[in-house]
Amino acid sequence: MATSEVQTVNTSADKAKLVAAVALVLVGFVAFYLLSSQGALAQWGALLVALVAAAVVFGVSESGKQLLAFGRDAWRETKKVVWPARKEAIQMTAYVFAFVFVMALFLWLTDKTLEWLFYDLILGWRK
């Protein structure tokens, strides 16, 4: 099931939600550093509370709803993936390794042939 693309207009309320979410993240980081004398529990607690609040505010905004819808669609598509069987995966891996080996051998032989051609025959630089 494909979702239709709908252009939404960002209202001022939606923009305010996004600004509030960013502000909450900043408040969380500021609180983390300002509460350094209170101990790690207070620091991390303030940071986590602010980040969760920012995530909730972002989640109720139009951008947050679109992101969640995208995540649901991506998860649904991921479930449709058919992975190869073990035997097929091993065979394909062996084909890739064999191709890499053949190409490496070809490039090595080409390099040595050109080295012999230029340095020994044309330029006469013997090793």
Domain of 40, in residue numbers: 12-79
Name the pTM for this structure.
0.56
User: Is 21 or 121 the better-scoring residue by pLDDT?
Assistant: 21
Quote the CA–CA distance of 29 and 48 in Å, as a whole number: 10
In this structure, the answer to whether residues 17 and 71 fall within a common structural domain is yes
In this structure, the answer to whether residues 68 and 101 fall within a common structural domain is no
Instruction: Give the three-state DSSP class for 78.
Output: helix
The 10s digit of each residue's pLDDT in 51-95 is 999 999 999 999 999 999 999 999 999 999 998 999 999 999 999
Q: Work out the angle between the directed axes of helices 62-79 and 40-60 (0-180°, nearest 10).
A: 90
The answer to whether residue 6 is domain-embedded is: no
User: Is 53 or 9 the better-scoring residue by pLDDT?
Assistant: 53
Assign 127 a pLDDT band (cuts: 50, 70, 90): low
Number of domains forming the structure of the chain: 2
* 11-22 average pLDDT score: 92
In this structure, the answer to whether residues 73 and 103 fall within a common structural domain is no
Of residues 71, 33, 72, 31, the one with CA closest to residue 51: 31
Question: Does residue 6 surpass a pLDDT of 80?
Answer: no
Instruction: Give the three-state DSSP class for 84.
Output: coil
